[in-house]
Amino acid sequence: MERKIKLAIAIVLIIAAIFYLQATTVHPQVLSQKEVLANNSVSLAAKSAKYSPAADFVNPTGFINTDNFTLKQLVGSKIILLDFWTYSCINCQRTIPFLNAWYEKYEASGFVVVGVHTPEFEFEKNIGNVKQAVQQFGIKYPVVLDSEYGTWSAYNNHYWPAEYLIDVDGFVVNTHFGEGDYEETESKIVELLKEKADREGGKINMNESVATPAAVQAQTASPETYFGAARNEFLANGEKGRVGVQEMAIPQKLEGNQLYLGGTWNFTPEYATNLQGNAKITFTYYAKGIYLVASSQNESKIIVTLDGKPVSQEIAGEAIRFEGNQSFAVVKEAKLYRLVQSSSPEQHTLEIMVVGNGLRAYTFTFG
For residue 312, being part of any structural domain is answered with: yes
Task: Tell me, yes or no, whether 38 and 62 share the same domain.
Answer: no
Task: Tell me, yes or no, whether 355 and 272 share the same domain.
Answer: yes
On average, the pLDDT of the chain sits at 87
- Please report, for the domain that includes residue 252, its CATH number: 2.60.120.260
The count of domains in the chain is 3
Distance CA 214, CA 216 (A): 6
For residue 220, being part of any structural domain is answered with: no
Task: Tell me, yes or no, whether 175 and 94 share the same domain.
Answer: yes
Asked if 310 contacts 337 with a C-beta cutoff of 8 angstroms, the reply is no
For residue 253, being part of any structural domain is answered with: yes
- Please report, for the domain that includes residue 89, its CATH number: 3.40.30.10
Give the pLDDT mean for 319-348. 95
- Check residue 127 and give its pLDDT: 96
Asked if 95 contacts 179 with a C-beta cutoff of 8 angstroms, the reply is yes
Give the pLDDT mean for 208-215. 50
- Tell me the pLDDT band of 31, cut-offs 50, 70 and 90: very low
- pLDDT tens-digit readout, 257-298: 999 999 999 999 999 999 999 999 999 999 999 999 999 988
CA geometry: angle at 179 spanning 177 and 182, to 5°?
Answer: 100
For residue 77, being part of any structural domain is answered with: yes
Of the three residues 157, 186, 215, the one that is the final residue of a domain is 215
For residue 105, being part of any structural domain is answered with: yes
Residues 6+ apart with CB under 8 A from 152: 84, 116, 118, 146
For residue 24, being part of any structural domain is answered with: yes
Give the pLDDT mean for 335-351. 94
Of the three residues 161, 180, 215, the one that is the final residue of a domain is 215
Task: Tell me, yes or no, whether 236 and 200 share the same domain.
Answer: no
What is the DSSP secondary structure assignment for residue 66, as one 8-state letter? S
Domain that holds residue 189: 53-215
- The pLDDT > 90 percentage for the chain reads 76
Task: Tell me, yes or no, whether 276 and 237 share the same domain.
Answer: yes
- Check residue 45 and give its pLDDT: 81
Of the three residues 191, 215, 239, the one that is the final residue of a domain is 215
Task: Tell me, yes or no, whether 6 and 92 share the same domain.
Answer: no
pLDDT at 30 over 70: no
- Looking at mean pLDDT, say which of 18-22, 214-218, 342-346 comes out highest: 342-346
Task: Tell me, yes or no, whether 21 and 93 share the same domain.
Answer: no
Task: Tell me, yes or no, whether 59 and 147 share the same domain.
Answer: yes
pTM: 0.79
Burial of 314 per CB tally in 10 Å (0-12, 13-18, 19+): exposed
Task: Tell me, yes or no, whether 115 and 232 share the same domain.
Answer: no
Task: Tell me, yes or no, whether 254 and 196 share the same domain.
Answer: no
Task: Tell me, yes or no, whether 159 and 284 share the same domain.
Answer: no
For residue 145, being part of any structural domain is answered with: yes
Whether cis (ω within 30° of 0) applies to the bond prior to 213 is no
DSSP string, 204-233: ---PPP---GGGT---B-SPPEE-STTT-T
For residue 167, being part of any structural domain is answered with: yes
The full 3-state SS of 129-180, as one line of letters, equals: HHHHHHHHCCCCCCEEECCCCHHHHHCCCCCCCEEEEECCCCEEEEEEECCC
Task: Tell me, yes or no, whether 91 and 116 share the same domain.
Answer: yes
Pairing of strands 279-296, 300-306: unpaired
